[in-house]
Amino acid sequence: MNVRCARLFFVALCIGGLFSVTGVSSAASGKFDYKNIDCSKLDEITDKRNHRIAERKCRMMKPDKYKISNAGKADSEPAPEDVYAGEDKEKFRSMILSAWKKRYPGDKVLGVRFPVDHWIRNSNYKANATSIYKTDTSVLPARVVVQTDNRYATIFPAYINKNNLNGHITVGVDTKKSQYVIKQMALKNWNP
């Protein structure tokens, strides 16, 4: 079977309904739903291919893992300082809050703080196989304080990123990961 026939066969299978949208394979239709997988019932999936796909999907759906860097010292951790005084501070605060709520809708955000008083700039020339080009970016670090439970809050980093060459600004909030410094603090230390 050549490549074109294989593609046409795959398209025909997809159109023919081999891939359905219902959860696990149903006895009536014999179809497997790749979108609604119950990760607690992986052992019930007997087809090897479907089982591998379901395992991969369940690994991707796991909550982000991170490590608390000040474990056991949360009671003495102070609230992050808020020292940035730029006129765009509230605009950036609302951008981070909006992006955070979109990325982590279940989080109860207590506040956003900017612990530095200036942008951190990085301007370089880089080379690839055919040219030399300039990069010029700035970062404004922030801290998002999220209530963890009725006693503690977790402090996550967030970033306002600016491309100084074209003025484009983006928000970095995908930081619930182990490569970032994440701390906990007692709620009694939080001052809004």
Domain segments of the chain: what residues?
3-61, 74-189
* HEC per residue, the chain: CCHHHHHHHHHHHHHCCCEECCCCCCCCCCCEECCCCCHHHHHHCCCHHHHHHHHHHHHHHCCCCCCECCCCCHHHCCCCCCCCCCCCHHHHHHHHHHHHHHHCCCCEEEEEECCCCCCEEEEEEEECCCCEEEEEEEEEEEEEEEECCCCEEEEEEEEEEEECCCCCEEEECCCCCCCCCEEEEEHHHCCC
Is this model's pTM higher than 0.85 or not? Answer: no
Tens of each residue's pLDDT in the chain, 192 residues: 454 544 444 444 444 444 333 344 444 455 777 667 777 777 888 788 888 888 877 766 555 678 889 988 999 999 999 999 999 999 999 999 999 999 999 999 999 999 999 999 999 999 999 999 999 999 999 999 999 999 999 999 999 999 999 999 999 999 988 788 999 999 999 988
